[in-house]
Amino acid sequence: MIYLDEEHVRRLLRWEELIAAMEQALADFSLGSVIAPVRGVLTIEEGKRYFGIMPAAAQDVMGLKAVSFYPANEGSAVPTHQAIVLLFRTDNGEPLAAIDGRLITEMRTAAVSAAITKYLMPANSRVLALLGSGVQAQSHLAALSSIAEFEEVRVWSRTPEHAERFARKHGAVAMDAQAAVRGADVIVVATSSQDPVLEGAWLKAGAHVNAVGANRPTWRELDDDAMANTLLVDSREAVLQESGDVILSGAKIYAEIGEIFAGTKRAATGETTIFKSVGIAAEDLAAGRLVYNAATTN
């Protein structure tokens, strides 16, 4: 059994391979060939400190991610998400690796968004809007820039200084949320907000939204108007237990994105689409497998 730290993960994961791996992992999940139950969450302090266990099993490898989700760490030197991914052989149960999961979580979340954005973004998409200026905004900018050429990147944060700093670093333009979203082709909502920050009235027809925050049953990032558009999710079972955006809006789920990837549902091109992501263990398992395979074959 080997241990791979974050620097190994950073050196070995590449966007093109990771995006393809997420597409395959989620297709397999929706087809039933990957077992990935809804994560178990221990609430240590409501709204501030949570600990999750996320198991999954594929034909060749199985494992789990143990993850701490600490909104209380926001603004400090300690990340809000920290994790360990454990890998085992499925055939005989042999432990293979323990892998630092912080960067895996960061990158696989953005890679999943990029995978479905390839199918759903408007033709000739040129404007990207980021609501949020933290780790996931940065990761999504990198992942989405690997699949599309954006001429304009807009960013908003509840803390204007953070948006300005992000804009200077990444060649974006900082603006208020409504202005950022108006006319944008692809929108990413990646905040720690517990109340909606995106209104459906701001969305242009045919835009695509990746919403990756608000993964508690009472938290919201999107208002009911936004959720009334064509809704896609990573896991029906998971969002109906974990996503306040889905639960509280009563939105109808069109498809799991794995169904799009597997070809069992059409891609809903031309429609205004919302991808609500809560993150599932099948994604961590596939990303961990990529890191492990690269580490042991190089």
Model pLDDT for residues 78-123, shown as the tens digit of each residue: 999 999 999 999 999 999 999 999 999 999 999 999 999 999 999 9
User: With contact defined as beta carbons under 8 Å apart, do 252 and 274 qualify?
Assistant: no
Closest to 9 (Cα-Cα) out of 87, 88, 96, 106: 106
Q: Is the domain of 156 the same as that of 145?
A: yes
Domain count, the chain: 2
Q: Is the domain of 256 the same as that of 117?
A: yes
Give pLDDT, residue 74: 86
Q: Is the domain of 31 the same as that of 118?
A: no
Percent share of the chain, pLDDT over 90: 95
Q: Is the domain of 159 the same as that of 214?
A: yes
Q: Is the domain of 17 the same as that of 161?
A: no
Question: What is the DSSP annotation of 196-213?
Answer: --B-GGGPPTT-EEEE--
Reported as a single tens digit per residue, the pLDDT across 157-181 is: 999 999 999 999 999 999 999 999 9
CATH number at residue 182: 3.40.50.720
Q: Is the domain of 134 the same as that of 9?
A: no
- Confirm whether pTM is higher than 0.75: yes
CA distances from 2 to 55, 199, 217, 272, 291 (A): 19, 46, 36, 45, 12
Average pLDDT, the chain: 96
Q: What range defines the domain where residue 188 resides?
A: 110-279
CATH number at residue 32: 3.30.1780.10
Reported as a single tens digit per residue, the pLDDT across 10-52 is: 999 999 999 999 999 999 999 999 999 999 999 999 989 999 9
Reported as a single tens digit per residue, the pLDDT across 119-155 is: 999 999 999 999 999 999 999 999 999 999 999 999 9
Cα–chain center distance at 166: 19
User: How many Å from the N-terminal Cα to the C-terminal Cα in the chain?
Assistant: 17
